[in-house]
Amino acid sequence: MLIKTYGAAVQGIDAITVTIEVVAEQGAVFSLVGMADTAVKESYQRVLSAVTQSGHKWPRRRIVINLSPADVRKEGAAYDLPIAIGILAACEQIKCVRPLERFMIMGELSLDGSVLPIRGVLPMAIKARQLGFGGMIVPKANASEAAVVNNLDVYGVSSLSEVIGFITGNTDLTPTIVNTREEFARASEIFDCDFSEVKGQMAVKRAFEVACAGGHNILLVGPPGSGKSMMAKRLPTILPPLTLAEALETTKIHSVAGKLKGGSRLMTSRPFRSPHHTISPVALVGGGTSPMPGEISLAHNGVLFLDEFPEFSRQVLEVMRQPLEDRHISVSRAKYSIDYPAGFMLVASMNPCPCGYYNHPSKPCQCPPGAVQKYLNRISGPLLDRIDLQVEIYPVPFESLSSTAPEEPSEAIRSRVIKAREIQAIRFAAEKGIHSNAQMNKRLLSLHTRLDTASTELLRDTMTRLDMSARAYDRILKVSRTIADLEYASDPALSPAEGASRPIMIHHLREALAYRNLDRGSWGQTVNHV
């Protein structure tokens, strides 16, 4: 007898349907075909034990299982549950009152018949709804994750016996219901840190505000203990909240990577990823024997923080050059080619020299001549060009540290960032995939960053004197546009639509040029020796 059950395989961050065809005939051979990896082929022992522990006999029949399409590699143990149901139905040990073609079934089986959680349930659920499946049977730990998808009945199960009872009509299961929009609207982003805890550093706080308002990359250069990491970790508190579409896309990526905690639903906070400097290129960009999203994809719609920037290997840093421009990464290997989204905001920090005290106001630098420039040269010029804001940070004086005067909270900074983003949303309303100033292409740059004569002369003189690249020119214009947006957003007399059409002024350009500290020809050339 031929029985078909339905599951899914994840490719990139999307899913494709997999048909599990089971034929039971006379004989005593078990065969599993369809480009299955070792974990799938080992399902025989898990399914046999689970079926026996669930009170059914293992059929003395010749069983052939085909996972279709046969030219797509199947990985993992998530096919155990549909295989077990297919075998029992093909051998007529169960009578399916509820038609199997109505359900997508996925789950790993334990030897005692319990159903274990799996990765990538959210993209599978999205695919099930697209193809018109009436419901989806998944491990109970994954039910809330799959129920984020509307118009799909999601049944969370904890054992094979429970699934058998449901399919045969002996047990009723209650679908898991999640009101996605209500949950998302009610979710409050509660952070355990705030910019009000940061004393002084007003210039750096301003640079962070500009970076968040336009989605720009930022590099902090300063001595140990000056607050680089402390402020970077507070960056999510001033970023605008996720939209529903961004939350769904971000949750899909983390679902595929298996990073969602048990019972998780929709991610409501922007991701903040901070890998160690010993990370490998594959771990950063994704891929591997079993393709998985890397850190730059896990940081999609959020922040990728690279502390001790020059300590990362040159190979690791250079693989980020293309994703920083294109906002996605194409991982191509001999056996597969996968695209992962990588629209992240890069935040990096570094010491100014090996000893850490170059340009320190009170401590002398111990580095030999040329060491400062050699240390900076660990980061290539093309990569530095892709960082919009390069900011020097200095130690906070004792007077500021001991001050009891209240500092501006994250909520106040965030409100200005959100208003600036509203202006950009109006400006780019007709542009697909463009949401912030940092994403502007050449056409949009020429349209929205026109300069007057005085500003043009200032930019020409600065670029000629510092020998800046064409990419640096683009970055300066983008940052200038964001600084102008922040100013117009703070004007209560202007609506966002009016602010979107206002020009860049010369003081906006001056501030943007001040954020190109490492472009100064004198930086790193002199050392304050003992």
**Under a CB-based contact definition with an 8 Å cutoff, are residues 282 and 288 in contact?**
yes
**Under a CB-based contact definition with an 8 Å cutoff, are residues 118 and 108 in contact?**
yes
Tell me how many degrees the CA angle 71-87-75 measures, rounded to the nearest 5.
35
- What does the DSSP assignment read for 123-137? HHHHHHHHTT-SEEE
Strand partners, 367: none
| DSSP-derived pairing of the beta strands 303-306 and 272-273 | parallel
Total count of residues recorded for the chain: 530
Residue 86 has pLDDT above 90, yes or no: yes
Confidence band of 264 (pLDDT split at 50, 70, 90): low
Residue 184 has pLDDT above 80, yes or no: no
Residue scoring higher pLDDT (339 or 336):
339
Residue 519 has pLDDT above 80, yes or no: no
Calculate mean pLDDT across residues 284-313: 92
pLDDT the model gives residue 146: 92
Structure tokens at 280: 């490998």
pLDDT the model gives residue 448: 92
Residue 128 has pLDDT above 50, yes or no: yes
Strand partners, 391: 220
pLDDT in tens, 204-251: 999 999 999 999 999 999 999 888 999 999 999 999 998 888 988 999
Cα 223 from Cα 67, distance rounded (Å): 58
- What does the DSSP assignment read for 17-34? EEEEEEEEESSS-EEEES
Strand partners, 136: 104, 154
pLDDT the model gives residue 520: 59
Of 164-178, 181-195, 353-367, 410-424, the range with the lowest mean pLDDT is: 181-195
Cα 113 from Cα 132, distance rounded (Å): 29
Confidence band of 84 (pLDDT split at 50, 70, 90): very high
pLDDT in tens, 347-399: 999 998 899 888 888 888 888 888 888 888 899 888 988 899 999 998 888 88
pLDDT in tens, 476-487: 999 999 999 999
Cα 176 from Cα 241, distance rounded (Å): 26
5 by DSSP, 3-state: which? Answer: strand
pLDDT the model gives residue 522: 52
| DSSP-derived pairing of the beta strands 345-350 and 153-157 | unpaired
pLDDT the model gives residue 444: 93
Residue 333 has pLDDT above 70, yes or no: yes
pLDDT in tens, 142-177: 999 999 898 899 999 999 999 999 999 999 999 998
Sign of the alpha-carbon dihedral angle for 282, 121, 150, 261: negative
In this structure, the dihedral spanned by the alpha carbons of residues 245, 106, 116 and 168, taken in order and rounded to 10 degrees, is 130
Confidence band of 66 (pLDDT split at 50, 70, 90): very high
Report the percentage of the chain scoring pLDDT > 90.
Answer: 61
pLDDT the model gives residue 141: 92
Report the percentage of the chain scoring pLDDT > 70.
Answer: 96
Structure tokens at 385: 């060009």
Q: Which residues contact 351 (CB under 8 A, 6 or more apart)?
A: 221, 222, 223, 224, 308, 375
Confidence band of 530 (pLDDT split at 50, 70, 90): very low
pLDDT the model gives residue 44: 93
